[in-house]
Structure 1
Amino acid sequence: MNHDRMRLASALLGVTAIAAIALVPVTPAQADPSIKDVKSKVDRLYHEAEQAQERYNDAKLDLADLRSDLAALRADEERQSDKLEAVRDQVADSVLRGYQGESISTVGQVVVSDDPTAFLGQLSTMSGFNDLQDTMFDAYSTELEALDLRREATADRAAEIAETTEQLAAEQESVDEKLADAKDVLADLEAEERERLLSASRSGEARLPASVPASGRAAAAVAYAMAQVGDAYVYGATGDNAFDCSGLTMRAWGAAGVGLPHSSSAQYSSGPHISASALQPGDLVFYYSPISHVGMYIGNGLIVHAANPGTGVAVSGLYSMPYVGAVRPG
């Protein structure tokens, strides 16, 4: 009897164990990332690299300005040094003449003078001489202080240049890292999947318009930009066969005779701001906050821009990215 009970208990335990196993949740294998997820990651890395590149472009402009200021300060410092040297020579000559007894000789001549008028004239002359000495010493002190100020300004500007140069190196490193990360993400995909990803990236491109209604300088700028559609996107490039976003708009308006800086944020300050409802072909349109991308409006709700390394120079919708505002160059 006890033996039968033991067999029954064993059987029940077995059934319970099987049921328990059946109830344990099975963790599914980690699913491969979808094309949409990978595309989103690559686009994000491309944009982060573009942000770093635009900061690099801004730093280059700052560096050029700083170097120009430094050259002017050094020239001013040299002129001030020459002025100080001239005053120093005058003071030294005045002191030397005093030590040689010129002032005493003048006093003697005044004392022995029998002519009161001559005495007063000589006294006035001696007083004027002393006043001249005081004036020269004051001038020397003033010029010396001015030179010190210029030397300090020169040193400050040189320090700013060193700091900006370090910033350039850091931003370039950031661009390289983000681009390498994007390439690594793409490299992890099979060739067929990678091509599907790039095709998905290009699927957002708009069809080229038959013509763009523009006139004057804007027509020349639009014509240049549209002629580059299909060219490569390369960070920091300004042509002739590869561009970054601000490099393309700079070259396009340069072809129209209008100079623009190689920086999207700097280009945002290059002309009057235009509302979206008043956009005309040739206007520059800006994206993201802080601004890190620029394109050119070509009408019908479309822009031409250097998009990213996966897309190159292409035509896209005006609101295909977070829109900030527009500027009309020229």
Structure 2
Amino acid sequence: MRKRLITALSGLALATAIGLVPSTSAQAEPDIDTVQARVDRLYHEAEQASERYNDAKIELDALQRDLESLRADQERQDADLGAVREQVKDTMLRQFEGQGISAVGEVFVSDDPSAFLSQLSTMSSYTSYQDALLDDYATEVQALDIRRTATATRLEQVEKTEERLAAEKATIEAKHSEAESLLDRLKEEERTQILSRGSTTVPSVVPASGRAAAAVAYAMAQVGDAYVYGAAGPSAWDCSGLTMVAWAQAGVALPHSSSAQYSSGARVSSSDLQPGDLVFYYSPISHVGMYIGNGLIVHAANPSSGTRVAELYSMPYVGAVRPG
């Protein structure tokens, strides 16, 4: 009897203990600060890819211009080679006229310039004029080969750059999508709280002067516009697209790349900043804004925030330049 009682009490204790243990472990939702940090990191990684994309586009444009020039040069060289070839053919035909033309005919059936040159070199009894023509032909063949090689090399570089562009675009889209998914999981008030962080009251007057005044006025007029990777207006921007078009209003041409813009003017210390100066962030540089005075910048921030005013040191500061 005592043994059965102990067994029953043990079973009751075990059942009670099991009832107190939850069947599945509760997974705590990440707090706003954690989500904020993850979203900021994803947007920054997407922007890094976007700026690399911009750099690759600049490189691709230069390569394509060079390729067009090389192709045109190759076509001119091909025409020059054809003209010399015709002169050699005419001279050889005249020399062998009446002596049977079968050997010469075999020479002319080949369309390969190197083969044609090799066959001609086996023939003898050239006049000094014919020797000069042959030398000209050899020179033109070599020049054409050089141009063909250069064209093929540049074409390969174009193809590799286009592959880089596609890869960077895929990275941008993946990081952006992941950040948006994180934000979509938050409640509306939490999302609003995250997106409102870092916002600053827009100053009514910016004390800019000279050419910088036109650049600052244009940039400030875009506050509230959307942020789109790779965009340069008129109603959506990325960081370097905004500063590029803003300074274009002052007659200053800038590349569509934050890292390239860092080399577009004289370096300025943080203590000497003036409205219109370009300020750069992160290492390697992947973001640019425009200083507007009083420790503030205007910049195309990210897809959630758009174009806004922020504090100068709201991101890891690298340096500044003064365009123009």
Q: TM-score, normalised by structure 1?
A: 0.80
1:271 paired residue number = 265
2:240 paired residue number = 246
Alpha-carbon separation, structure 2, partners of 1:89 and 1:29 = 87
Instruction: Tell me, yes or no, if structure 1 residue 94 matches structure 2 residue 94.
Output: no
Compared CA separation, residues 270 and 283, structure 1 to 2 (3 A)? same
Q: CA deviation at 1:73?
A: 0.5
Alpha-carbon separation, structure 2, partners of 1:17 and 1:208 = 65
1:42-82 deviation line (CA, Å, top 9, x unaligned): 11111111111111111111111111111100111111112
2:81 paired residue number = 84
Alpha-carbon separation, structure 1, partners of 2:260 and 2:156 = 23
2:255 paired residue number = 261
Alpha-carbon separation, structure 2, partners of 1:251 and 1:12 = 81
Alpha-carbon separation, structure 2, partners of 1:9 and 1:81 = 105
Aligned-residue sequence identity (percent) comes to 64
1:168-203 deviation line (CA, Å, top 9, x unaligned): 2221111111111111111112223222222xxx33
2:45 paired residue number = 48
Q: How does 1:76-225 map to 2 (within 5 A)?
A: 76-100=73-97, 130-198=127-195, 202-225=196-219
Instruction: Tell me, yes or no, if structure 1 residue 235 matches structure 2 residue 193.
Output: no
Per the alignment, in what secondary structure is the counterpart of residue 219 of structure 2? helix
1:109 paired residue number = none
Per the alignment, in what secondary structure is the counterpart of residue 303 of structure 1? strand
Compared CA separation, residues 7 and 86, structure 1 to 2 (3 A)? closer
2:31 paired residue number = 34
Instruction: Tell me, yes or no, if structure 1 residue 323 matches structure 2 residue 317.
Output: yes
5+ long unaligned stretches in structure 1: 102-128
Runs of 4+ in 1 over 6 A off after TM superposition: 6-14
Q: Please tell me the residue identity of whatever aligns with 2:49.
A: A
Q: Please tell me the residue identity of whatever aligns with 1:147.
A: L
> More helix by proportion, 1 or 2?
1
Pair member with larger Rg = 1
Alpha-carbon separation, structure 1, partners of 2:274 and 2:93 = 76
5+ long unaligned stretches in structure 2: 99-125
Alpha-carbon separation, structure 2, partners of 1:181 and 1:7 = 60
Per the alignment, in what secondary structure is the counterpart of residue 272 of structure 1? strand
State the Cα RMSD in Å. Answer: 2.9
2:64 paired residue number = 67
Compared CA separation, residues 10 and 88, structure 1 to 2 (3 A)? closer
Q: CA deviation at 1:11?
A: 12
Alpha-carbon separation, structure 2, partners of 1:162 and 1:239 = 28
Instruction: Tell me, yes or no, if structure 1 residue 283 matches structure 2 residue 280.
Output: no
- Equivalent residues, number: 298
Q: TM-score, normalised by structure 2?
A: 0.82
